[in-house]
Chains A and B, each alone.
Chain A
Amino acid sequence: MTLLIALTLFVLAVFLGLELITKVPAMLHTPLMSGSNAVSGITLIGALVSAGSDHTMLTTTLGFVAVTLATINVVGGFLVTNRMLTMFAGRKKRRP
């Protein structure tokens, strides 16, 4: 991937993100934040390659810690978002 293509992806994705998120109601601010935060744990796939490629002891160790941290971020982030959203939904059902 050339730098120019990478930059193009970056700029387009930022604009797409801005379009997607505008006008989110206040009740969803926290779930949106924790859900998108879990998505930012995508760095996990980079960590997997670093930890698994067995280049040197140092890079493997850095990768191992990175995989652990990123997995906490991903698993915890999606689960807690789901917990909050279930809370919102459960309450609606109980309404007469």
Chain B
Amino acid sequence: MTTPDIISVGYLIAAVLFILGLKGLGRPRTAPRGNLMGASGMLLAVLVTMLDQAIISYLALAVALVIGSIVGALLAVKVKMTSMPELVALFNGFGGGASVLVAIASFIEAVELGRADNQLAIAAAATALIGAVTFTGSVIAFFKLQESLKWSGFTGLPLVRVVVLIVSLVLVVMVAVEPGTRAWLWALVAAGLVLGVISTVAIGGADMPVVIALLNAFSGVAASTTGFVLDNPLLIIAGSLVGASGLILTQIMCKAMNRSIFEVIFSETPAAAAGGRDDSDVYGDRVTSTSAEEVAMLLEVADRVVIVPGYGLAVAQAQHAVRDLMTSLEASGKEVMFGIHPVAGRMPGHMNVLLAEAEIGYEHLLDMDQINPTFSETDVTIVIGANDVVNPAARNDPSSPIAGMPILDVDESRTVVVIKRSLSPGFAGIANPLFAADNALMLFGDGKQAVIDIAAALVTV
């Protein structure tokens, strides 16, 4: 077998390992093995690539591989589970960024060797654009998730977005028509970087799961188009698989928010559209505030308790306190369940990861379709740091901006306790009639402290 044959067979085995790996990641029992298969496929692909005769200097490669491995491993081991969305965003960005650089380098080399045809130029242009958008989009998402970036653009940004998108597409055509002129490619990369920034900077917190899933799909597509540049079937296959899985997650997230992907990317945020409004007509003097002691007394006589976590739980780092509360409630014979909305948190599956970190068994975690029919038999529902996903206006008020969005029907339980800092609106920027409902009690304060107080009061009841 010649060396190129060995490389090709190695790539084929790697592709099979990626397929089996992704399949394994879809089921709880097989997921660890699936991840291992993916990693083995990657290792095999890297090893056989080293046989490539085009590679003549190994020192630089070794240095880059070692630096990358150390940084990657440190990030993976050190990250707190609450910061998982940021890390996933960052890794996405690095993958997209790497694809852009590879496409540029290969394109330049091909032009200098006189091998650049239109096919290669179009593939390089597509990679430059998609990869650049993925890179800056992910970096902006990272800073937004860290809450170190507050700027959310200006009015008219959607229009600018459309203009930059059109300019980018024109530049793609220019690269394809005049592959010999490098300036077009650089201009395209610049346009892509700008497009990534202005596409994500205005995106509000609750749209984050959609954006993270979409960027995940983009990083796959960028790898796939890089495969067209390099004529490499493994890149095409692996990239497309990731693109497809990212697309499915994006679709699930969009459905759970009742927003189309087009709305998320191209429209103003609903909060901005709603503007500052007076919520007194919704709340009036009907909001009842409560204390930890009173909640403890309600829990004391309850048989079934449901906890609905939202992003506020992650912010307050309240997962361990919630676990302790659950343990003491269960010790006195009560049934405790968690109701998890698909877009609760800042990335797909965010709440599951957080609650798993606190060692809450996943038989306690019910998704929306499982938990909704059970609220009418629930004595106390505790909502921690969630707002729009429990807003009954989505169900009752056809004129509401979130009308039709699937929600958790917490208002059907006997009593709803909402732990929240204030009556401030959620991401959708609208008032929540739940807070003024007869069976709802507001416990104002920090999520973690409130849960600790309830657990403490429970002991003394």
Chain A interface (Cβ < 8 Å from any Cβ of B): 1, 3, 6, 9-10, 13-18, 20-56, 58-60, 62-92, 94-95
Contact = CB atoms under 8 A, between A and B. Distances in A.
B257 interface: no
A6 B236 CA distance: 7
Given A14-B244, A29-B349, A40-B220, A48 B50 contact: yes
Contact of B248 (A16, A18, A64, A71): A18
Contacts of B301: none
Contacts of A54: 56-57
A20 B38 CA distance: 14
Nearest to B120: A3
Contacts of A74: 42, 68, 72
B44 to A, nearest CB: 10
A92 B293 CA distance: 33
B69 A13 contact: no
Contacts, number: 381
A56 B112 contact: yes
A33 B213 contact: yes
Interface of B: 18-19, 21-23, 25-28, 31-32, 34-36, 38-39, 41-42, 45-46, 49-50, 52, 54-58, 60-61, 63-65, 67-69, 71-73, 75-77, 79, 81, 84, 87-88, 91-92, 94-95, 97-99, 101-102, 104-106, 108-109, 112, 119, 212-213, 216, 219-220, 222-224, 226-249, 252, 340, 342, 347-350, 352-353, 356-357, 359-362, 365, 367
Most chain B CB within 10 A, of A44, A58, A65, is at A44
A29 B35 contact: no
B61 A33 contact: no
14 contacts: A20-B23, A21-B26, A29-B349, A32-B249, A35-B38, A36-B25, A39-B21, A40-B239, A43-B99, A52-B61, A63-B105, A73-B98, A82-B32, A88-B362
Contacts of A41: 42, 91, 94-95, 98, 223
B231 A6 contact: yes
Given A47-B102, A52-B54, A33 B356 contact: no
A24 B112 CA distance: 46
A59 to B, nearest CB: 4
A23 B347 CA distance: 17
B243 A42 contact: no
A46 to B, nearest CB: 4
A32 to B, nearest CB: 5
B102 A50 contact: yes
Contacts of A88: 28, 31, 356, 362
A23 B248 CA distance: 9
Contacts of B69: 71, 75
A73 B72 contact: yes
A59 B105 contact: yes
Nearest to A3: B119
A45 B234 contact: yes
B165 to A, nearest CB: 23
B243 to A, nearest CB: 7
